[in-house]
Amino acid sequence: MPKRSSNKSLRILEFPCKSGNTSIKSRGIFFLLFVIFIGAIAVNSGNNLVYLTFSTILSFILISGFLSFSNLRNISAEIKLQEFVFAKKQSAGYLLIKNNSPSPKFRLKTELFGYTFQVDLLSDIFALRFSKIFERRGIYKIPGIKITSDFPFGFFERKKKIELNESITVFPEIKSVSINRLEGNNESIAKRKKGYGEEFHSVRKYIEGEDSRRINWKLTAKANEPMVIETSGEKEKLDVFMDTSSYLYKNEDEFEDAVVKITSLVYKCFLCQTKLSFRINNDKIKASSDKERYRKIFEILATVKMTDTTPLPVPRGAITYGDITYD
């Protein structure tokens, strides 16, 4: 895991004059002063050997410029984050640096979310792992990736910015919750899920966060990944309703608390593979235990805002944020 960097560690000593995307590092300044010194000696002395030395040094500058320019050509980047990203929860991801040319790339340095990565790109792609905690729900635009390299001699640093034009949808924070008016609270949800009946239903992959006792180790050994056997459980579904009317909340903080409670309950139903019917105002997502439907609910809750509308009547039997408490 790369270390977080401070602004101080990223600061590069630069010559006041810049040319395009290239800057001169401190050692480069001394090198140029040395070149000027050798050139002055060559002019004053007229010695062929000094002239030869001076021309050789100049050729190094030209070679350095060509190699540094080639070193940043045909490079692209991509961000891969875990499937569900929740606020205030550490999320893992990968920064993929891709080499789209046959020649290798050396001494590449880039920064993302406070982490500094340094890599030699000797193959077509290199995956750099990082973690990030988003403080609030919503849609975050991924900043452009700036890649720098001081290859080959470390005198000059060339820069390239790759615009990703991508965004991350951060779902609301999740906490441990219970439902007040359901008998048995947590058990009432758990009993609704597949896996507590007696008849065989299906085989699926283990979902992170589930009870590990449900893993079938024989199937896991064959599939080389955790597998779960589902059996037929109860066919009930959970009805959840959220009204965004501002008349129902004292302030923005209370509304955010309601969003957290609803999201936490929905996530708990997701882990338990519970059939869920979700309604926000007049929009309804049909009852299902399908992952994509849960994702759609999370995406709605990620960007939901209070509205200046009249409160709607609560559907019969539906659970609202007032029925949910933190454990």
Residue with the larger pLDDT of the pair 115 and 266: 266
What is the rounded average pLDDT of the residues 82-93?
88
Residue 122 is classified by DSSP as -
What is the rounded average pLDDT of the residues 310-317?
89
Winning range, highest mean pLDDT, from 52-66, 86-100, 283-297: 86-100
Kindly tell me if the per-residue pLDDT of 250 is higher than 80: yes
Kindly tell me if the per-residue pLDDT of 1 is higher than 60: no
Q: What is the pTM of this model?
A: 0.67
Kindly tell me if the per-residue pLDDT of 263 is higher than 60: yes
230: confidence class by pLDDT, cuts 50, 70, 90? low
Average pLDDT of the chain to the nearest whole number: 78
User: For the chain, where are the E strands, in sequence order?
Assistant: 22-24, 75-81, 91-99, 105-112, 115-121, 125-132, 138-141, 145-149, 156-162, 167-170, 177-179, 200-205, 227-231, 238-242, 276-280, 283-288, 324-326
Cα–Cα distance, 173 to 152 (Å, whole number) = 46
Domain ranges in the chain are 1-170, 177-193+233-326
Rg of the Cα atoms in the chain: 29
Kindly tell me if the per-residue pLDDT of 13 is higher than 80: no
